[in-house]
Amino acid sequence: MPRLRIGVYSGMYIISLAPTPPYRSGLSHYVLYLYFNFSPHHKINIITNKDSSVFQSSNITLSKTFTPGVGAPWACLRKILTQERPDILHLHVEYSFLGSWLNFISLSLFMIILRTACRSCKIVTTLHGVPRYWSIYFYLKTKSRLSSVSKPIALIYTILSYISVSLSFALSDAVIVHTELMKSALASFIPRNMLSKVHVIPHGSYEPRNYMKNSRSNKDSIIVLTFGYQRPSKGLKTLLRAAREVSRRATNVKFMIVGEHIQRNLEREEKLMGNDIGAKIEIINSFLKDEDLDEIIKKADIIVLPYEDMFYESSGALHRVVLFGKALICSNVPRFRSCLNHGENALLFRPGDYVELATHLSKLINDYSLREQLSKRIVESFLHTRWKIVARKHEQLFLELLISRYKDVTKGR
């Protein structure tokens, strides 16, 4: 039953379909931060992975339903159909939707069944990644040595993705993306009359607790940090090569690499570099709790995110650190250039170009005032993306959708 009455608003009933930790995706943390910043007046049921370790609260329940893979959407669909019909059905869709790229292609069939069964609900789809041919091609190229195979596969997958997203668009009442760049990418294949459904709500930014940035540090060394789940597209190779170049000229620099799957990638790169990286490197090869990662970020002077993929999405890693006020160096890929300006709130370099990255690192290592300038501006640029503000924007959109439904009902009387 809708929770809107004439002159009365008593909260919404929201069902969300999304992964939660320990699911290995930035989306799982996004979902956690988003809903726990919603007003407690709303009742929220998150249909999520079976191994979820998230604690429930007074207004948030978890239905531990799916195992990631091709069967996950259908397990979730069965669960949704057994629930009380919500006011808002909020779907979170990324490239590997519920653990499989194939689920992204079959999204339209899932949406058709869902729309048919939940006619009274308002369906909101948050699209965390927009498919583009070149993004998919470059990804496949890193997975296969045969570029001739990558091109036709990328083309077929892109066409199927466009069809799937377009149909899902038609069946959603609203679609959320995180940047104007993502919206413009959608505009290249979505019918123009559907673009009115698109709402740009930024990715939320983590707000450190009780953190006061120190003035000029008296440390003997500069700490350069990169973090996250490591895979080839994260650019560790580029960072290590840049670290070697920088360390030849500066001996007061320590590089910290934090996350999972680091050791295996590091050993491979050491062999390629002749077992001589030639830089001071500290490795924490594990997934850290928020409070532990916070302490490491606080100690860092410079944070580097050297990603090499070309996906049109937002970066959870970037939004995890921006409000700490650290000097940032990021690769000039869509997820970063959509919200960063070179020389204004960060330094950007060509993806894979370790020489340019080394140049930027040397500049920041030797120029304290530039580090401070970038630190101040990055915080100013992202204050409007604090999670509590992003949550309010979602609530406002949901409420507007319900009000429009109420008006439609009263007109029909």
What would the pLDDT profile of 275-290 be if each residue is shown by its tens digit?
Answer: 567 788 998 888 888 8
| Residue in 405, 299, 375, 410 with CA at minimum distance from that of residue 87 | 405
Each residue's pLDDT tens digit, 78-111: 999 999 999 999 999 998 899 998 999 999 999 9
Mean pLDDT of 292-310: 95
pLDDT of residue 220: 75
User: 147 pLDDT exceeds 70?
Assistant: no
Mean pLDDT of 146-157: 76
Topology at the third CATH level for domain 222-385? Rossmann fold (3.40.50)
Mean pLDDT of 239-260: 91
Mean pLDDT of 1-5: 46
DSSP conformation class of 215: S
Three-class secondary structure of residue 175 per DSSP: strand
Each residue's pLDDT tens digit, 16-68: 999 999 998 889 999 999 999 999 999 999 999 999 999 889 999 999 999 99
| Residue in 270, 297, 302 with CA at minimum distance from that of residue 284 | 297
Q: ω into residue 68 within 30 of 0, thus cis?
A: no
For residue 11, is it left (φ>0), alpha (ψ between -120 and 50) or beta?
left
Cα dihedral across residues 163, 168, 174, 178: positive or negative:
negative
Helix (H) or strand (E) holding 147: helix 147-171
User: 6 pLDDT exceeds 80?
Assistant: no
CB within 8 Å of 349: residues ≥ 6 apart: 306, 329, 330, 331, 332, 356, 357, 359, 360
Mean pLDDT of 146-163: 81
Among 213-217, 270-274, 345-349, the range scoring the smallest mean pLDDT is: 213-217
State how far Cα 74 lies from the chain centre.
Answer: 24
Three-class secondary structure of residue 233 per DSSP: helix
The residue assigned the tokens 């204004």 is 344
pLDDT of residue 145: 58
Q: For residues 302 and 281, give the distance between their C-alpha atoms in angstroms, rounded to a whole number.
A: 14
Each residue's pLDDT tens digit, 63-85: 999 999 999 999 999 999 999 99
Alpha helices, DSSP H only, in 22-132?
26-35, 72-81, 101-105, 107-117
pLDDT of residue 314: 95
> What kind of architecture, by CATH, is found in domain 4-204+386-411?
3-Layer(aba) Sandwich (3.40)
Q: For residues 188 and 178, give the distance between their C-alpha atoms in angstroms, rounded to a whole number.
A: 17
Q: For residues 10 and 132, give the distance between their C-alpha atoms in angstroms, rounded to a whole number.
A: 41
pLDDT of residue 397: 97
User: 134 pLDDT exceeds 90?
Assistant: no
Q: For residues 135 and 158, give the distance between their C-alpha atoms in angstroms, rounded to a whole number.
A: 10
Direct distance between the N- and C-terminal alpha carbons of the chain, in angstroms, rounded to an integer = 18
Domain limits, the chain = 4-204+386-411, 222-385
DSSP conformation class of 85: P
Same fold, 4-204+386-411 and 222-385: yes
User: 187 pLDDT exceeds 80?
Assistant: yes
Band of the pLDDT at 149, cuts 50, 70, 90? low
Mean pLDDT of 181-201: 94
Mean pLDDT of 335-361: 97
User: 412 pLDDT exceeds 90?
Assistant: no
